[in-house]
Amino acid sequence: MENHKIKELINLTKKYISDKEIYTIGKAIEFSSKAHNNQTRQSGEPFINHPIEVAKILASIKLDTSSIISGLLHDTIEDTEITLHEIKNFFGNEVSDLVEGLTKINKYSLIINNLKFGENYRKLLLAATKDLRVILIKLADRLHNMKTLYFLDDNHKQIRIALETLEVYAPLAQRLGMRDWQDQLEDLSFTFINPEARKSILERLEYLNSKDINIIDEIRYDLKKIFIEENTDCTIVGRIKSPYSIWNKIKSKDISFEQLSDIMAFRVITNSSRECYRLLGVTHRKFTCIQGRFKDFISSPKNNGYRALHTSVIGPQNKKIEIQFRSKVMDQIAEFGVASHWKYKDPKKIKANDTKEYKWMYELLDLMNQSNSQDELIENSKIKLFQDSIYVFSPKGDVIELPKNSTPVDFAYSIHSEIGDKCVASKINGKLQPLKSILKNGDQVEILTSNESQPSPLWERFVATSKVKSQIRKFMRSKKREEHIIFGKEILINAFKKEGIEFSIKALDKVLEKFNCKKSEDIFELVGSGTITSANVLKTIFPELKISFSKNINLSSGSPIKLKGLTAGMSYHLAGCCSPILGDNIVGIVTAGIGVSVHTVDCETLTSYSDSPERWLDISWEKNNNSTQYSIARIKVVLQNKAGSLGKVTTIIAKNNGNISNINFSTRKKDFFEIIIDIEVRDTNHLNNIIAALRLIKEISSLNRIKG
């Protein structure tokens, strides 16, 4: 280990950290050095140099002690035998939480499809990170890795890492207002991604500099002179823009290097926002303003808190220059972003009349300073960005953005509508989970599909995405019309047959206008949905026909309408008063606007329809031995209050392939329980087998099926 690197780190921390905390940092250096003993980097230097350099970068922006210690330990979990438990014992909960957060981010980078970086991955890192400092430490880690990337002898890997840095970490730095780190990350990435373009830009800049060696200082002097005449105390900093920034403008504006108007940028740092506006006015009076180049980020700050005034003018020596006006605090936030919060420990120092200028920093600082404990401090510094969204992985590593409380069904439709329509199950992080499970940040989701599957009306109750709800409704409308047409046609054919009349489409054509229909399918739909009855259609076609109605349906004769290929809850509804299941003797009741309600023939509710025989339908189940559809049957069990008695009941149900969906204790007494059990069964035969098996249990006093 190089002692001078440790001395540099300690000297940086001495500027703002107490001796007691510096001692703890020294312990962290020893701990990390021991953990990484005998490990080396690609450069051949000891591995410990990397965490020390990361800690130095963090200390350069005056980040707190826990962050610096975490920077020293950030690779120990993944690259050594050290555990989180050990870190927690040595350095406490705060440091172990930061290190754990860094480890989680690194795991995400292993899942992510490295060819598809982008905004969603950046948002995932922010949304999944509970503490801002985790992101700052990760950025410092990436910054040092980029500075040493040239030691890597694999060019393809260099380019991949540089691309990831440019598309993920540099924009993250920008989002958090870390302008200095953003510039470094972008330019270091540019070195590997497009070395020829960078070299060309540097050569052009050197040529311009050779023509006007002192141009930056001369313009800075001229500006300073003008502002002194206005009795204003300010600092002026000038620079040539970075090669990557120049390259970006050449690309985005589709212009040549010679056409660039603002290669030079100057920053005027004042004492207040009021002075920023005053010096802007002075500048515009003295120099010609370039139209369309003025931006006021003081009255309308950027979403990362950046505030400044920007303008471009034909400045001193007739040069096109960009000038930014910032107050001192604006400048701190512009350079260090969220990290500037750790620089200002006392928000009371902020002047009352400058509240607006300091608002973005003040609010976060105030939250942190109100924290009475370490846990509360961490809670108050949690990232609130993107709190209305979550970010999950596809099996291929793509990051998908979804609304908060989304389910696997939302995820399936976000991939493709066909996958959504055909989904039957989901795997979340490799484990089978219900389709209504709530997804969390960082979950890896896989959708299982079946060509025979279709959307369920129940999905609309739990999906979070408005678009998905709309797609489900659209499918249901289409499917419902399709089923109503099938059902309505069957009802009419049956009605014609019952009256001894041969059914024909031509007969329906005569009454299309009467029912405001354009084609026969429209009449079928009206009959299937219960809007009109088969009797209405027959009487319209044959006005003199005497229709004989009977509610005493002989289930053993005739040809009842089979519920073939129809969906419960769509073209027909299972009545809640008697809860029919496959195998029950059933009858249909036509209700306008609802369709057909299916009742058991012994349902007490049927007496209320005795005066409307035209609404009764002779229907039956479609017998299908291969059906995998299940219905819910309800039984009431009176059970002796003995240890293990309920276990016997559930065991018998399971052994007979029944699945309990709900248990409710309706009565609890000293000697017995009365229990209502909902069981998923194939049909009445399956239910009867379960009931027969249960009646053999001696602890059961009575048992019967409840209809309704």
- Can you say how many angstroms the Cα of residue 620 is from the centroid of all Cα atoms in its chain? 46
DSSP class of residue 533 equals: -
The DSSP letter of residue 421 is H
d(CA 63, CA 57): 9
The separation between the first and the last C-alpha atoms of the chain, rounded to the nearest angstrom, is 78
Cα→Cα distances 670→640, 667, 703, Å: 9, 10, 19
- Three-state secondary-structure class, residue 617: strand
In the beta sheet, which residues pair with residue 427? 432, 446
Which one, of 92, 67, 90, lies nearest residue 12 by Cα? 67
Alpha-carbon distance 589 to 573, whole Å?
10
Q: How many CA atoms lie within 13 A of 29 on its CB side?
A: 22
Phi, psi of 404 (to 5 degrees): -60, 145
- Count of alpha carbons within 13 angstroms of residue 698, beta-carbon side: 1
Distance of alpha carbon 294 from alpha carbon 161, whole angstroms: 36
229 noted as active-site residue = no
Structure tokens of 533? 């009855």
Find where tokens 């290929």 sit. 565
86 a catalytic residue: no
Task: Name the maximum alpha-carbon separation found in the chain.
Answer: 111
The two tokens of residue 336 are: 């260090």
Q: Identify the three-state secondary structure at position 132.
A: helix
* C-alpha–C-alpha distance, residues 176 and 415, integer Å: 30
Which pair of structure tokens corresponds to residue 253?
Answer: 């504006």
Q: Please state, in angstroms and rounded to a whole number, the distance separating the CA atoms of residues 330 and 177.
A: 11
Note whether 402 and 390 are within 8 A (CB). yes
Write down the catalytic residue from 8, 19, 45, 78. Answer: 78
Alpha helix segments (H runs only) across 370-465: 374-380, 408-415, 417-422, 459-462
**Which of 2, 30, 79, 366 is an active site residue?**
79
- Write out the catalytic residue numbers: 78-79
